[in-house]
Structure 1
Amino acid sequence: MQTKPWYWIDNTESLNTPALAIYPDRVKHNIDLLIGSISEVARLRPHVKTCKAIEPVLLMLESGITKFKCATIAEAEMLAMAKAPDVLLAYPIVGASVDRFLELIKTFPETAFSCLVDDPTSAQILNDAAFGQNLKIPVYIDLNIGMNRTGINPNKAVDLYNFCAIKEALTPMGLHAYDGHIHAADFETRRQQWHASFMQVKLVKQELMAKGFASPKIIAGGTPTFPFYAEEPDVECSPGTFIYWDEGYRQHFTEQLFLPAALLVARVVSLPDQTKICMDLGHKSMASESSLDKRVRFLNAPDLKLISHSEEHLVANAGENHHFKIGDVLYGLPWHICPTVALHQSATTVENHQITGSWETIARNRKITL
């Protein structure tokens, strides 16, 4: 008897495509693997930018993970709705986001919220707003260790830490560093690059302690450098992509054995000529920031060569005498799962080859209620 591929869905008749399919058993496997990869679960602070849904957060909570990281007010609210105990909003809080963040704190008192600061001006604005509402905000100093996106120069970090320490409504808790610029496929090359960047964090920590501050907490890294931070006993680790995995990470970070747990399900909608097939998998349903050859790999059609990609269409060369027919179902592993998830209002759950329900991608919106 022939065994079905793990991704196969028996009851696709009613499935509207393109669809995002989630395999909860594999999600649970990835959570367990993450927990088993570190000395203690309390050192995990997963980023929810990938899943953006309450159900996988609940699975992490059930597994003993209590700390989380996010990038938007909506993601923070989603975590609070799931009753996550500890949430770090790891994004500059400026403009109207200041009032929204304070409202979030007041609306969900059972969740301990913290945020990042990387500039005295924004820190002062946050302090004044919080002080006016009789709130005390835990903050982490965001360090720029090479990503050159957000974060303060490490040479100026101690001054900012001290600046926050003397403010009425801010409590500096520690340091935050994201090293998304480190993604070499070669493991030892990646380790060397990580070590050079992380030394900057260690030096700031040493200087703070020399000036009499308590040992600062350190929250650092993403999935590519997770194996290295996991070896550092005093660091909280923040991988995100692990929850669903994708083709890009599968190819580049082979030392990490997470399983693909989210796929794109598409159908052949047209046969434009003898060698080409057209699928209903356009820009609106699959991340398209990479080159055409780095967008999706079809598990049940790995030899397809992508030709063009537009809003509602994906065209591929299937070769002479191909077997594809209109209506055929294809299962694609996205190259970049995080922005792909954000394109789908909900995901279809698949268990034992059957569609069993859906997970709403509730935090894909910029606003839930606040």
Structure 2
Amino acid sequence: MNLDTTDRQWYTINNPDKLDSPALIIYPDRVKKNIETIVKMIDDPARLRPHVKTHKTKEVTLLMIAAGINKFKCATIAEAEMLGMCNAQDVLLAYQPNGPKITRFISVIKAYPGTKFSCLADNLKSAEEISGQAIINELRIPVYIDLNVGMNRTGIKPGSAAMQLYEDASHLKGLETLGFHAYDGHIHERDIEIRKKLSEQLFAPIEKLKEELENKGYSAPKLVIGGSPTFPIYAENPDVECSPGTFVFWDKGYQDLLPEQNFLPAALILSRVISMPDETKICLDLGHKSVAAENDLQKRLYFLNAPDLKLISQSEEHLVLEAGEHHQWKIGDILYALPFHVCPTCALYEYATLIEEGELSGTWKIIARDRKITI
């Protein structure tokens, strides 16, 4: 398969009539190339902790493990179990479990003893609850203190309170306090120099916490920081584990936003023209149920073989586009759509169809799209 991103025909399927639509299609050669690229972008693959929320598959996880990546981040118990099924060495549940989720998390830990599982905590009550359940189950659960560095959804702000929480958690018998976790998804400026400045401002209080803990005699805390936009920045910091996720499939959103990152689009949606409401419009079988719909309508899909089409409206099963007068589109024509946000798009599909050398070559089950696999 031609991996040249300037070749606009790389996505073409020779036998699309064998595939119903809408369909999530994945190009494994491009996935492998993206994994090779990210390993080359960092000094040591041991500092990579990719987030699996994008692909949610055993197959992609195993490709990463084969490339020397052994640490992972996830957001759900199903994703954690999927990683356990792949014998991943080190898995961080980047979520603070409480109530039944703690019980399920402990069940995953017990079911996959070959994998080291950890989780987050951002307050003492939750840390004590996790510790209590760990003691009951004769476990010692590793935790990272979750820092709020600007997303303002979870975490504790870097400073004296975070220091106190780290020390308090370190004294809980059921926990092993490993370090700090910080997600900076609010930093997404297109100019990487601006991203660098904002990242430096963000990192300074975290570095101060690290130094203060070491001065108090604690082992150097591990730092898990960042996502895709700041990955190239933290890749240059030997003290940081990096957690990009979208790189494996890439999408139109990050392709436009992060021009310095040379990843290849590797997951598309195949759709068909199903109707022509009037002389200038066409309708596709590509509704809300087939692509992430949280963005404005014009920021949901980009059609590789029809970039001039204008999105007019979308409902659950339909997408109406303006094609212009005297257009050449016909009922049954195929369109290849690159999602703007691929992560939640993948979660809408039970499986993806693989395309190799222009042919349908198999499927990958999006096994962790569900809230539960077995646990």
Shorter-chain TM range is over 0.9
Corresponding residue for 1:15?
19
Are 1:289 and 2:294 counterparts? Answer: yes
2:366 aligned partner, one-letter code: T
Select 2:104's aligned residue among 100, 103, 122: 100
Q: CA RMSD in A?
A: 0.9
Residues 58-207 of structure 1 correspond to what in structure 2 (within 5 A)?
Answer: 58-155=62-159, 156-207=161-212
1:185 aligned partner, one-letter code: R
Corresponding residue for 1:31?
35
- Measured after TM superposition, the shift of residue 127 of structure 1 is 0.5
Select 1:362's aligned residue among 363, 367, 375: 367
- Measured after TM superposition, the shift of residue 153 of structure 1 is 1.6
Structure 1 segments (4+ residues) deviating >4 Å: none
Residues 49 and 71 of structure 1 are in contact (CA less than 8 Å); yes or no, is this contact kept in structure 2? Answer: yes
| Separation in 1, partners of 2:204, 2:365 | 40
Structure 2 gaps, min length 5: 1-6
1:10-69 CA-partner distances (Å, limit 9, x unpaired): 111120100000000000000000000000111100000000011000100111100000
| Separation in 1, partners of 2:47, 2:298 | 37
Corresponding residue for 2:313?
308
Corresponding residue for 2:284?
279
2:313 aligned partner, one-letter code: S
Residues 20 and 347 of structure 1 are in contact (CA less than 8 Å); yes or no, is this contact kept in structure 2? Answer: yes
| Separation in 1, partners of 2:154, 2:355 | 38
Corresponding residue for 2:333?
328
| Separation in 1, partners of 2:169, 2:356 | 49
SS of residue matched to 2:64: helix
2:49 aligned partner, one-letter code: R
2:80 aligned partner, one-letter code: A
SS of residue matched to 1:284: helix
Corresponding residue for 1:263?
268
1:57-116 CA-partner distances (Å, limit 9, x unpaired): 010011110000000000000001111111000011011000001111111101110111
| Separation in 2, partners of 1:200, 1:282 | 44
1:165-222 CA-partner distances (Å, limit 9, x unpaired): 1111101011111100000011111111111111121111112112211111111100
SS of residue matched to 1:267: strand
- Measured after TM superposition, the shift of residue 124 of structure 1 is 0.4
Residues 49 and 72 of structure 2 are in contact (CA less than 8 Å); yes or no, is this contact kept in structure 1? Answer: yes
| Separation in 2, partners of 1:161, 1:237 | 21
| Separation in 1, partners of 2:12, 2:205 | 47
Are 1:46 and 2:55 counterparts? Answer: no
1:90 aligned partner, one-letter code: A
Are 1:298 and 2:303 counterparts? Answer: yes
Are 1:225 and 2:230 counterparts? Answer: yes
Residues 302 and 340 of structure 2 are in contact (CA less than 8 Å); yes or no, is this contact kept in structure 1? Answer: yes
2:199 aligned partner, one-letter code: W
1:289 aligned partner, one-letter code: E
2:306 aligned partner, one-letter code: A
SS of residue matched to 1:141: strand
| Separation in 2, partners of 1:345, 1:146 | 34
1:291 aligned partner, one-letter code: D
- Measured after TM superposition, the shift of residue 147 of structure 1 is 1.0
TM-score, with structure 1 as normaliser = 0.98
SS of residue matched to 2:25: strand
1:245-300 CA-partner distances (Å, limit 9, x unpaired): 00000001000000000001000000111000000000001011000110000000
| Corresponding pairs, count | 368
Residues 184 and 190 of structure 1 are in contact (CA less than 8 Å); yes or no, is this contact kept in structure 2? Answer: yes
Aligned identity (percent) is 57
| Separation in 2, partners of 1:174, 1:125 | 19
Counterparts in 2 of 1:209 and 1:108: CA distance versus 1, 3 Å: same
Residues 8 and 304 of structure 2 are in contact (CA less than 8 Å); yes or no, is this contact kept in structure 1? Answer: no
Counterparts in 2 of 1:357 and 1:45: CA distance versus 1, 3 Å: same
Counterparts in 2 of 1:273 and 1:99: CA distance versus 1, 3 Å: same
Residues 145 and 200 of structure 1 are in contact (CA less than 8 Å); yes or no, is this contact kept in structure 2? Answer: no
| Separation in 2, partners of 1:201, 1:342 | 33
2:122 aligned partner, one-letter code: D
- Measured after TM superposition, the shift of residue 4 of structure 1 is 7.7
